[in-house]
Structure 1
Amino acid sequence: MVEKDRPGRPKSIVRVCWECLAESPVIRSFNSHPRESFDHVPGKVGDFESEWTMFRASIVEVADRCCGRKVVVACRGGTARTHWWRPAVRDAVRLKKESYRALLACGTPEGADRYRQAKRSAATAVAEAKTRAWKEFGEAMENGFEKVLDHHLANQGITLLSLPDDVVLLVSSARDLQRSLDWFAAACEAAGMKISTFKSEAMVLNRKKVECLLRVKEEILPQVEEFKYLGVLFTSEGRMEQETDRRIGAASAVMLTRLRSIGVKRELSHKAKDEWMELAKEEQCEFLPFLSPREVIMKNGRIAGLQFCRTEQTEEGDWLEDQEQVVRLKADYIISAFGSILSDPQVTAAMAPVKLNRWGTPEVDTDTMQTSEPWVFAGGDVAGLANTTVESVNDGKQAAWHIHRYIQSLYGHTVEPVPKLPLFYSAIDLVDISIAVCGIKFPNPFGLASAPPTTSAAMIRRAFEQGWGFAVTKTFGLDKDLVTNVSPRIVRGTTSGNLYGPGQGSFLNIELISEKTAAYWCQSVAELKKSFPTNVVISSIMCSYNKEDWTELAKMAEDSGADALELNLSCPHGMGERGMGLACGQDPVLVRNICRWVRAAVSIPFFAKLTPNVTNIVDIAKAAHEGGANGVTATNTVSGMMGLKADGAPWPSVGKGKRTTYGGVSGNAIRPIALRAVSAIARAIPGFPILATGGIDSADTGLQFLHAGASVLQVCSAVQNQDLTVIGDYCVGLKALLYLKSLNLNYWEGQSPPTEKHQKGKPVPKLEDLIGKNIPSFGPYLKKRKEALADYKKKLKDADKADMKEPASIRCSMVKQPIPTVKDVIARSLNYIGAYQELNNLEQVEALIDEEMCINCGKCYMTCNDSGYQAIKFDPETHIPKVTDSCTGCTLCLSVCPIIDCIKMVTRKTPYEPKRGLPVSPVC
């Protein structure tokens, strides 16, 4: 039996409670299915009662028919009787084995990737096949359950199963039911049990802990620990009876009716987290559910125990306390963790006129958290509704909204009942990040690039709803230039190594322009502008080098209501072969003429989208500027090939021939190229608007592009990595960065304060000042280090000082200067960029390693030794690194150090003299 209908090996398999089987090793073999088969369940005469043997035979028969038997000595691939071993499963397993052999032969990372993928696929195929087989088994057991009625249990024929809460009686017919109940009642009374008959056709057995057998007339009533699924009896290797008595305080005998199941365990009266329960079980804690504390037992003025009453739930869901069922526990201490009541008369009087229930908690409307008094709201523990902190927090949110509704209603205002609470609010939220470019006001500088995230109007609509300031439509052309894409066409990059999942450093695509018509996009733009008048919609268009085509398409896009146009002159794959895209964007003459044609055709602003696949992108930008373009987009994707597999096949590969083409690389991998392009254009054409794109994945990187000269920012790969909701982080992050610029925090790196001296995140003093020398934080030195720090803290304590002197906190609440706008930070970094000959080779730096923060990993030594100037030495005993005079300030060590700010580049104290290798010949 599978507990949940899901792929994978089930947690609980058929656990048949054959009497006398509990202590047998057979149960372990049976429970290990599907690794072990039904053949491993012995049917040896004498192991069970004959009726159980017959019952077992029927189960094995059905299981064999549904799941098959996997013979241990069978040939490879199993046998035909293993029905889940179907061709699809066999092929998946065979592919896994072949991939493993290939991995052993070549040992390449690509081979390892293929083997892991094949192994995962094979495991999924096998798990799903076995799950289907078990499901068929359950259905067959359901359909064939009536066969069980032909068997005998405890020498009585099973002709009727009565369905009570905790007990089932096996009787010969319905007419014998009452007589059997009478016998059973007498037997229970003799055993010290009480029978309550609150149902006409069912009975509940409530018993105290007794050690006796239950008899019906002369027959022993068979007690089953659990019975859950279609005629199959469950056990837990004979321990359930003991665990039930010890932990739950009740034992039950349960059997199943056809098509229904009865659980012996009622819902616990508390809602502790599963992980807390498991941890408590590991600590040997006892759980006593369904008990209500009634009295604390005192002896000689001290706590001696606690008395409980049994609780039961009625059919209506109400809980009742049975005063006749009393449980007493010895106790020295009582910790009230939950279920406490409010009984202090002074507190209850202070809460008047709020109505309280019998537990002393306010009567609360669970939807509004409103009490009997409309102006009083309650939630969390005081209302007795929440069981966890998360639930209490949610109560507070609900109450806050309905308090708002109540107050507004006092003044005649109506507020909708659905809560819409604002997010956390601070002065940062007041920062204005809007910007005007070419007379167009952008709500924020973040928008979607012409790429997969803008494939359709519906996607752009969702983007605006999430908060994106603008969007560039997927590039479209005239109907004569319609395209059909191939697949696969968008793949993960290899620039970050074998990194899988979100967070890819790059992507490669061989996707063409939009497959949708120009008419579709023109209609979509009109609808989007009607729904989102404050958002900016830019239509991306593409044609071949034809004046009539560019004129026609540009006018069509303008008439649709687009705020601006983007001329795609840069698609690096596919379109260039048609004389479009890259074919037009690599020649300054063609770019200049196309811009002139569009300028003559439309009056709205337009931007030429430039390609980085040229010798000098500045020449192309100047041509667009001369042609009348209002700005440029820099840059499109970089032409490249992402990778080849071990067999030489490319990825992505199309069709049976596994063909590919050079595609466009995007994402963080091209950010350096895009930053260079943006800054170079901004330096060459000051004030020329630039729509930056290429590796913008955060507010911080967005600010970098603004500093480089960009006006607004286009995003694609970051959305491909996550989803459209990243815009929330971008906007708040940019607001925070601008706000911080108004404070005296020049030594901060963005939103990050300077790194304190620390070890494993804990501040540490400079050990050399305490004991005269520094020692590392590993091995036997770690103990000495801890002792030295302990002595230091003790001296501070003895001197009546603070434990560890914490650095003075930085107060950031007072604004020192006006908060800059987005326009204020544009091109701020251009003054720092120039020719190499302008760099000063007299102002040299060298590495300084913070010994307190160093973790002695040796990475700085390794890179300096094999890729630098052998300027770092390691102490042979302490492994403390030392930087020698050979340091040239190359900064390799800082680049690979895993601890932030452990290595800093400081001004060189001695003049730098290059090592020329051989004496320099005098220059005449």
Structure 2
Amino acid sequence: MSSKPTVEIPPTVKRPVCFRPTKCQKGDSCYLSRHKEHPGTHHKRDFRNPKYMMSIPEAIKEGQRCLKCIDPPCQASCPTQLDVRTFTNAMGEGNMYAAAKTLFTHNPLAWTCGLLCPTCQACRGSCTLTDTVQGPIHINEMHQVACDAFMHMKIPQIRDPSIVEQPYHKAKIAMIGAGPASLSCATFLARIGYQDITIFEKQSYPGGTPAIEIPEFRIPYHVTRFEVKLVEDLGVKIVYNKTYGKDFTIDSLKQDGYQAIFMGIGFPEAHMVDPFMRHKDLPNVWNSKSFLNAVALASKPGMIEGKVPELPHLPGHVVVCGAGDVAADCCQAAFRCGADFVSLVFRRGSIDMRMNEDEAEHLRVEKVEMVPCHSPTELVIEDGKATGLMCNIMKKIPGTDKYVHDQGQTRVIKFDHVISAFGSLIGTHADPIYEKLVPGRKIEVNEETMASNTEGVFAGGDCVGSGTIVEAVNDGKVAAWGIHRYLAKLISNVEVPAQPTEVPPFMTPVDLVDLSVNIAGMKFPNPFGIASGPSSENCNMLKRAYQAGFGWVVTKTFQPDEDMLENVSPRIVGDAESNTYLNIELNSERTAAYWEKELPKLKKEFPDRILLASIHSKGDLNSWVNLAKRIAATGVDGLQLNISCPNLGEKDSKPFTEVIRETVAAVHAAVPLPLFPKIGHFQGSIVELAKAAKEGGASGVSGVNTISGLWNVTADGKFVPEVGFGPEARTAYGGMSGRAIKPFALSGVAEVCQSVPNFPFLACGGIENALTAWEFIQCGAPAVQFCSASMHKGFKTLIGELIPGLKFLLYARSRDDLKTWKSFVPPAVLAERSHRKRFGLYYDQDEDKEIESLADAKLPAEPIKLKEFVLDQMNGASSSTTPSSIAPEIKTIESEVGTVLNKLVHFNELKPQIKVVSTIDVDRCWNCGRCQTACFDAGYACIIFDRTSRIPKVTPMCHGCGLCAAVCPAKCISMKPKEAKK
């Protein structure tokens, strides 16, 4: 009788099932929770933003997640029509300068709107990804990251120096109120070219509603003041302590020579229902205006000069009446003013609240009690104080949105303090202009131009009925064009189109950087080109690339008619998310006659751009020469000789070096054009190939070409891609391109530029953004080509990140404070403490300690950010952000080509005695423990993971291999020099 065979069970499978009491599990779940919720008293006197702010790595990931829709619904739903595709692409590439430039081009108060916009009802609520598991793109949070990074760059806004001055540009323009609408209007008028713009503000500080009525925890004052500074950079003047109707009127402004006036006034008075109006003088009865004003003045140090007022003290139970965003601000601010318990009372049901969903969620998190269907009717007064709120219980009429009193149902809500938040009113003013401009609660305007019924007077914002900050910004934007049309007609009798023509974008000294580069006697307007491939299949595509802004293009490789081969299908596979592709595509299916006919037209239309034709021949050298002569006659600037395609490459028995040398020599002798043979790893040593090309008379080389590979084999034994069906389906080795081959391309460029100096390399292979282009430039390539990146981003979106990004990188080399940046991300932003919650008791201890330190301490008179980035400008002192501090000599591309090659040495020349160790930034750590997993199972077991606090720690035995930093998802591990033993 045979014995039963034994089966070897791996240890991980052999491990028994875990049996554990539920009570233990519940205890651990509570202890490890990051979602422990506290009542709002937890935030007493704490005016930091309670929301978790998106980190730099998270913002980059979010930008990469965007689909870059061809007709973005998020853009259509944004009042300012932000170019979301360009913005999210720049964020996904980590290009904070290009992202901020895009934001401020369309919205001068982009940071403010990122913090305050009801995006759940606008861009985010319209996102194509809304119904996915990960949800919509958090555009507003990326706003905040990009603008914060830009502020740390300390770069001023400038006027476009190419503007041709016109007589109407000297017109005097007045803005009334330094709020969002006026700041936006002044910005766009200044960008158009107007030079004499004055804003009159009744307060001693600018900002309007975001400054005076929205608490510090929602919008820090340095944000408001920084955006105001950008407006002032354009020469816009702000005159403070001037009240409309008291210090000046519309008529007096016109008498002073102002030819156009914009009214950006808000609603200065709170709307109070009768019970609150009759008892408004009681000490514990507040309205939203007086309360939030007092909170703002006390919590926004630096906003006013002199002594900061005391924060209102509202102990006990606070009742807030209202259901809008202002009521939400009052609730959260009440907790920070000492309230122990806050109730929000409103007449509608919870399903019909006017408050946006985001604000309602924050109230739930802060434990605000919602009291729906209660309509206040009277205040209960005892001993000279209000002590209770008498309410009618309301009910909804089915099938309508109306609420009526549920007869017989009333309730009295006891409180210690009450705040009414029922909105705002224009108020009563002595100035008779209001009788003409404000027939009701708002100024009547032409919505197309924002012009009022009074000649030369325009308006926007609260006073025309716009309910949000972003709508006020857009009102100012629209009014700027209306004022421009009005003044151009009035002063110069010039008819400006109703639809805005090109308005200069947000500009800084970075935009003045020259990206042109000279290569082989040709001047490239910029180093960015479209490579030979699917993106250059025909001249219409090349034309669109030129129109988008690319400085040069290479046609798709074509050949004599006798060498043409028909392409198979399918022939391209890939992954747009990783920007990696494989193709079994051959050359262009368009004949040489097509290119002979169309290339002269293209060159004639874009004479200042560089046009290279990529040719190939399977025949002898005479075939190469004949084709080269035909194409040279079209007027192209140079030729790319494609000898290195894995599918089309020469199959001659000669070594590739000889083939390249002979082919280049023959064509060089026949045509007087720069020649750039395309080389790649498929042919052998890339350095030897470059040397052979130079010996043959080439002006430089192009490359690298795609690298031969296979994409995928499915579980059922099929290749991807396959040509044919069923058992007869077949595939072939294809050419890999995109991000996957970037290390090989970068290495090839560096090797050639080290071994064959002063020999231009037109690089391609995995270059997808400004930062990777900069890598290739530093390794020796004066110009770079794009193909894979353009296949899923499109020409306009791609170049929209490339040009401002490379300009910033060159500009940064001229500033001592920027040249040490490793990317577009300010080190100061990376080093900022995270708001990420800790686990269980560690979270409590951490927070309680910080709250205790804030409880009795006053906020600093000049917060670091306000002092460093804004206050010096407010006081008229010179600043590190002014143009005078910019180094006079901006770097050029030629000066930066190959600058890192001296650091690239043979392995034997590296010094093993230099030691580093890993350092973990605990504040940015996600507490996942991946670093320990990698260190134990693939490293040196030098990281301890505390399973109680869940905080990793590097031991003194660290070998400095860098593996932990490579696998860290939070990017919080860096390598530091190892301290010498004492």
Superposition TM-score, scaled by structure 1 size: 0.58
Q: Which of 715, 735, 739 in structure 1 is aligned with 2:807?
A: 735
Distance, in Å, in 2 between the alignment partners of 1:366 and 1:784 is 54
In the TM superposition, 1:681-696 aligns within 5 A as 681-696=752-767
User: Are 2:644 and 2:683, in contact at CA under 8 Å, matched by a contact in 1?
Assistant: no
User: 3-state SS of the aligned residue for 1:603?
Assistant: coil
Q: Which of 839, 854, 875 in structure 2 is aligned with 1:778?
A: 839
**1:246-265: per-residue Cα shift (whole Å, max 9, x none)?**
x9xxxxxxxxxxxxxxxxxx
Counterpart in 2 of 1:645?
714
Q: Which of 596, 599, 603 in structure 2 is aligned with 1:529?
A: 603
Q: CA deviation at 1:485?
A: 1.3
Q: Number of residues paired by the alignment?
A: 589
User: Are 1:793 and 1:804, in contact at CA under 8 Å, matched by a contact in 2?
Assistant: no
User: 3-state SS of the aligned residue for 2:912?
Assistant: coil
Distance, in Å, in 2 between the alignment partners of 1:631 and 1:682 is 11
Q: CA deviation at 1:606?
A: 1.8
Q: Is 1:752 equivalent to 2:825 in the alignment?
A: yes
User: What amino acid sits opposite 1:504 in the alignment?
Assistant: S
Q: Which of 482, 498, 501 in structure 2 is aligned with 1:417?
A: 498
Q: CA deviation at 1:375?
A: 2.4
Counterpart in 2 of 1:143?
none
Counterpart in 2 of 1:399?
479
Structure number with bigger Rg: 1
Counterpart in 1 of 2:968?
897
User: Are 1:793 and 1:803, in contact at CA under 8 Å, matched by a contact in 2?
Assistant: no
In the TM superposition, 1:231-242 aligns within 5 A as none
Q: CA deviation at 1:802?
A: 7.2
User: Are 1:369 and 1:377, in contact at CA under 8 Å, matched by a contact in 2?
Assistant: yes
Distance, in Å, in 2 between the alignment partners of 1:540 and 1:890 is 44
Distance, in Å, in 2 between the alignment partners of 1:583 and 1:778 is 67
User: What amino acid sits opposite 2:445 in the alignment?
Assistant: V
Q: Is 1:663 equivalent to 2:744 in the alignment?
A: no
Counterpart in 2 of 1:702?
773
Distance, in Å, in 1 between the alignment partners of 2:427 and 2:353 is 21
Counterpart in 2 of 1:621?
690
Distance, in Å, in 2 between the alignment partners of 1:832 and 1:489 is 41
User: What amino acid sits opposite 2:514 in the alignment?
Assistant: D
User: 3-state SS of the aligned residue for 2:928?
Assistant: coil
User: What amino acid sits opposite 1:557 in the alignment?
Assistant: I
User: What amino acid sits opposite 1:753 in the alignment?
Assistant: P
Counterpart in 2 of 1:436?
518
Counterpart in 1 of 2:461?
380
User: Are 2:437 and 2:452, in contact at CA under 8 Å, matched by a contact in 1?
Assistant: no
Distance change in 2, residues 1:431/1:286 (3 Å)? farther
Counterpart in 2 of 1:556?
630
Distance, in Å, in 2 between the alignment partners of 1:298 and 1:880 is 53
Q: CA deviation at 1:524?
A: 2.1
In the TM superposition, 1:572-587 aligns within 5 A as 572-573=646-647, 575-576=648-649, 580=650, 587=656
Distance change in 2, residues 1:583/1:422 (3 Å)? farther
User: Are 1:342 and 1:359, in contact at CA under 8 Å, matched by a contact in 2?
Assistant: no
Q: Which of 921, 926, 941 in structure 2 is aligned with 1:870?
A: 941
Counterpart in 2 of 1:472?
554
**1:556-599: per-residue Cα shift (whole Å, max 9, x none)?**
211111111111111112x24xxx4x769961001001101111
Distance, in Å, in 2 between the alignment partners of 1:585 and 1:738 is 44
Distance, in Å, in 1 between the alignment partners of 2:924 and 2:362 is 36
Counterpart in 2 of 1:370?
451
Distance change in 2, residues 1:705/1:280 (3 Å)? closer
Counterpart in 2 of 1:65?
none
User: What amino acid sits opposite 2:535 in the alignment?
Assistant: P
**1:589-631: per-residue Cα shift (whole Å, max 9, x none)?**
0100110111112112121111122331000011111111111
Q: Is 1:886 equivalent to 2:960 in the alignment?
A: no
Distance, in Å, in 1 between the alignment partners of 2:590 and 2:374 is 64
Distance change in 2, residues 1:839/1:741 (3 Å)? same
User: 3-state SS of the aligned residue for 2:804?
Assistant: helix
Q: Is 1:456 equivalent to 2:538 in the alignment?
A: yes
Counterpart in 1 of 2:564?
482
Q: CA deviation at 1:379?
A: 2.5
Q: Is 1:906 equivalent to 2:977 in the alignment?
A: yes
Counterpart in 1 of 2:271?
none
User: 3-state SS of the aligned residue for 2:713?
Assistant: coil
Distance, in Å, in 2 between the alignment partners of 1:274 and 1:788 is 31
Q: Is 1:447 equivalent to 2:529 in the alignment?
A: yes
User: 3-state SS of the aligned residue for 1:666?
Assistant: strand
Q: Which of 823, 834, 853 in structure 1 is aligned with 2:905?
A: 834
Counterpart in 1 of 2:80?
none
Distance, in Å, in 2 between the alignment partners of 1:807 and 1:336 is 30
**1:514-571: per-residue Cα shift (whole Å, max 9, x none)?**
1111121222221212222222211111112512211111112111111111111111
Identity %: 37
User: Are 1:584 and 1:591, in contact at CA under 8 Å, matched by a contact in 2?
Assistant: no
Q: Is 1:408 equivalent to 2:488 in the alignment?
A: yes
User: Are 1:448 and 1:471, in contact at CA under 8 Å, matched by a contact in 2?
Assistant: yes
Counterpart in 2 of 1:99?
none
Q: Which of 434, 440, 444 in structure 2 is aligned with 1:359?
A: 440
- Higher relative CO (CA 8 A, sep ≥ 6), structure 1 or 2? 2
Distance, in Å, in 2 between the alignment partners of 1:879 and 1:306 is 50
Distance change in 2, residues 1:660/1:435 (3 Å)? same
User: Are 2:639 and 2:676, in contact at CA under 8 Å, matched by a contact in 1?
Assistant: yes
User: Are 1:609 and 1:636, in contact at CA under 8 Å, matched by a contact in 2?
Assistant: yes
Distance change in 2, residues 1:482/1:817 (3 Å)? same
User: Are 2:834 and 2:924, in contact at CA under 8 Å, matched by a contact in 1?
Assistant: no
Distance, in Å, in 1 between the alignment partners of 2:559 and 2:374 is 70
Q: Is 1:860 equivalent to 2:931 in the alignment?
A: yes
Distance change in 2, residues 1:909/1:801 (3 Å)? same
Q: Which of 666, 686, 693 in structure 2 is aligned with 1:597?
A: 666
User: 3-state SS of the aligned residue for 1:441?
Assistant: strand
Q: CA deviation at 1:389?
A: 4.0
**1:761-792: per-residue Cα shift (whole Å, max 9, x none)?**
249xxxxxxxxxxxx94233332233333344
User: Are 1:757 and 1:852, in contact at CA under 8 Å, matched by a contact in 2?
Assistant: no
Distance, in Å, in 2 between the alignment partners of 1:484 and 1:401 is 54
Distance, in Å, in 1 between the alignment partners of 2:467 and 2:353 is 8
Counterpart in 1 of 2:749?
678
Q: CA deviation at 1:883?
A: 3.1
User: 3-state SS of the aligned residue for 1:607?
Assistant: strand
User: Are 2:964 and 2:973, in contact at CA under 8 Å, matched by a contact in 1?
Assistant: no
User: What amino acid sits opposite 1:518 in the alignment?
Assistant: A
User: Are 2:584 and 2:735, in contact at CA under 8 Å, matched by a contact in 1?
Assistant: yes
User: Are 2:579 and 2:789, in contact at CA under 8 Å, matched by a contact in 1?
Assistant: no
Distance change in 2, residues 1:463/1:331 (3 Å)? farther
Distance, in Å, in 2 between the alignment partners of 1:806 and 1:387 is 30
Unaligned runs of 5+ in 2: 1-322, 324-351, 393-409, 870-879
Q: CA deviation at 1:872?
A: 2.4
Distance, in Å, in 2 between the alignment partners of 1:735 and 1:808 is 28
Distance change in 2, residues 1:460/1:585 (3 Å)? farther
User: What amino acid sits opposite 2:826 in the alignment?
Assistant: P
User: What amino acid sits opposite 1:469 in the alignment?
Assistant: G
Counterpart in 1 of 2:185?
none
**1:312-364: per-residue Cα shift (whole Å, max 9, x none)?**
xxxxxxxxxxxxxxxxx9999996867x7646242x52x47x94363254442
Distance change in 2, residues 1:304/1:759 (3 Å)? closer
In the TM superposition, 1:13-28 aligns within 5 A as none
Distance change in 2, residues 1:827/1:279 (3 Å)? closer
User: Are 2:517 and 2:526, in contact at CA under 8 Å, matched by a contact in 1?
Assistant: yes
User: Are 1:569 and 1:584, in contact at CA under 8 Å, matched by a contact in 2?
Assistant: no
User: Are 1:743 and 1:812, in contact at CA under 8 Å, matched by a contact in 2?
Assistant: no
Q: Is 1:790 equivalent to 2:790 in the alignment?
A: no
Distance, in Å, in 2 between the alignment partners of 1:672 and 1:842 is 27
User: Are 1:455 and 1:474, in contact at CA under 8 Å, matched by a contact in 2?
Assistant: yes
